[in-house]
Structure 1
Amino acid sequence: MDSIITDTTALSAVSRGWQLGDGHFTTVHAKHGQLRHWAYHQARLTAACTRLQMPMPDWAAVKARAQACLDVKADQVLRITLVRGAGGRGYSMQGCTDTQVLLNTAPFPAQYYQWREQGITIGVCQGRLGNSSLLAGLKTVNRLEQVLLKAELDAQHWPEALVLNSQHQVVEAVTANVFWREGDVIYTPDLTELGVWGTLRAWCMDYLGARLVHTQALLPRVLAADEVWLSNALIGIVPVTGIIEPNTGTNTKTEHLNVAELTITRELQQAYEQTN
């Protein structure tokens, strides 16, 4: 049976993906039929298969079928979801020898280009992320924390927001990773115990090299930064022009984070646009 599915209605209701959230995914910017940063997406999927002990699919076949799904004249989003095939009873993986690959596309949100140029003002979520060392870094199909955090975004009418852990340390944004600059030093949260290791985060780490420091930081430190930006495979590199402090509703950062002074953000944007 073909294990690459382009019609998601073909996935059985008794699938481990539906019943247990036993799968993972990546979301790719597909512009005019080209899969942007495919090497990083394949690396993410490969690492997740290894950690989740899922059989590895044929990546050449996955890429070929994915490209066949695309409209070469359109700007699109491609989601690639891998779900463990049927087998063992209950939680057991015994007998699960197959991995199903699901492909689906959607139009690319045009506002992301405006975000990159003009920046966005973001909030700070009241909801907190829990530590999960077994799944840290992975983008599993169980996104219930993010579903609840997105509900908070929608209620506040924020485009994005920072999310903290139970120790009040900054982890990431609801759908993106976060970076900031203090003087000449660039920081991003240490995601050893939780969070998502985004593909564009990985690209930023490779590009910045020794200039980037992983740290654990409380919110006031990020609020005082000289420059803050978000990254994911769809929004790209987006400057943060304001952060609405929790409990006060006061946007204290709009004037402090001046788009014209976002030197590292603009450097990353330029380098990102020159890569495939």
Structure 2
Amino acid sequence: MSFHQTLTDGRIPAPEDLDWLLASRALAFGEGVFTSIRVWQGQAIFWPAHLQRLRSGLEGLGAHLDQSFWSCLEQEVEQLAARLEEGMLKVMLLAGPGGRGYRRSTSSQRWHRVLQARPLSLIAEAYQGIPLWWMPSPAAGPQTASKHLNRLCQVLASDACPEAYPEALLYKGDDQIIEGIARNVFWYAEGCWWTPSLATGALAGVMRRQLLDSFPVRELETAKLAQLQKADEVFVCNSVQGIWPVVSLQSEAGHLGRWPLGSKTQELMQTFHPKMGLPLS
């Protein structure tokens, strides 16, 4: 039997939780952050990196929570991951009611912890190579590297991506690469790995961080399609489903690029996927 469970501030949600949620700044304005965690063998994979991103995200929103909040969160993640054993754990930190319109309250703002544990469905064939769809980013304004609650850009991009493509590569302006809808992008060329920098609007992905910490990677503030087309290998990744090799890039005008499932990408999959409980091919 598959395991599903939601915790609100460390307990099973109660009817009164609906009162604060409906009046919350999180629901009204998307004020909050979240992260999605791969759970394998009862462990929250890359949890320290997820925790750091949550902290950084709240600091970016001007929220500074005391240590007791974070201690409770760590305990809840550890216990829920152990019960789930394998799957995905979503952690959301939500700003409660308060303030006047967009302006926050001058008094202390209460924050809530919502954790959702559920099974994870993997797309097995994606680990053998996927086609990417090339499309403009629908973002109307500057994005932030923090994973805030407002993901309308990703919702619109997912809706515009053809069903035959499990992921799209988003660009802005003059063919400047940003990221995938739900994944960061990397390519191998001239003897090293490359990826767009956070200055492009790319998300500070947890899997991206693991790769930057483990291998030499050059970050580009301006990453162009022409550079990607000259690459030897390409992949997209996130911390829940790992690394997906990219074998082609398609647009409405036709094929923009083709790549093999190369040895460099396979090396990275062999490094990370066993500890994540993910396929090697």
Band the TM-score falls in, shorter-chain normalisation: 0.7 to 0.9
Question: Which one-letter code corresponds to 1:104 in the other structure?
Answer: Q
Matches within 5 A, 1:228-267: 228-244=234-250, 246-250=251-255, 252-253=257-258, 257-259=259-261, 262-267=262-267
Query: Residue 17 of structure 1: which of 26, 29, 33 is its match?
Result: 26
Runs of 4+ in structure 1 off by over 6 angstroms are: none
Alignment-derived partner of residue 64 in structure 1? 75
CA contact (8 A) 2:248 2:255 kept: no
CA contact (8 A) 1:8 1:104 kept: no
TM-score by length of 2: 0.85
Flag the 1:190–1:129 CA change in 2: closer, same or farther, 3 A. farther
Alignment-derived partner of residue 32 in structure 1? 41
Flag the 1:131–1:182 CA change in 2: closer, same or farther, 3 A. farther
Q: Give me the CA root mean square deviation.
A: 2.3
Alpha-carbon distance, 1:136 to partner: 2.0
- Gaps (5+ residues) in structure 1? none
Percent of aligned pairs sharing the same letter? 26
1:136 aligns with 2:147: no
Question: Which one-letter code corresponds to 2:78 in the other structure?
Answer: Q
Flag the 1:194–1:84 CA change in 2: closer, same or farther, 3 A. same
Flag the 1:217–1:108 CA change in 2: closer, same or farther, 3 A. same
Larger CA deviation: 173-182 vs 222-231: 222-231
Flag the 1:72–1:103 CA change in 2: closer, same or farther, 3 A. closer
Question: Which one-letter code corresponds to 1:171 in the other structure?
Answer: I
Matches within 5 A, 1:82-161: 82-93=93-104, 94-111=106-123, 113-116=124-127, 118-130=128-140, 132=142, 136-153=144-161, 155-161=162-168
Question: Which one-letter code corresponds to 2:218 in the other structure?
Answer: V
- Gaps (5+ residues) in structure 2? 1-7, 277-281
Flag the 1:248–1:72 CA change in 2: closer, same or farther, 3 A. same
Listed one character per residue, the Cα deviations across residues 173-211 of structure 1 (whole Å, up to 9, x for unaligned) are: 010000001130211002225121100101111011xx2
For residues 161 and 266 of structure 1, what CA distance do their matches in structure 2 show?
Answer: 21
CA contact (8 A) 2:39 2:84 kept: no
Listed one character per residue, the Cα deviations across residues 115-149 of structure 1 (whole Å, up to 9, x for unaligned) are: 23x121111124444552xx520111000010000
For residues 167 and 6 of structure 1, what CA distance do their matches in structure 2 show?
Answer: 49
For residues 212 and 235 of structure 1, what CA distance do their matches in structure 2 show?
Answer: 21
Larger CA deviation: 16-25 vs 123-132: 123-132
Larger CA deviation: 53-62 vs 95-104: 53-62
CA contact (8 A) 1:6 1:102 kept: no
TM-score by length of 1: 0.86
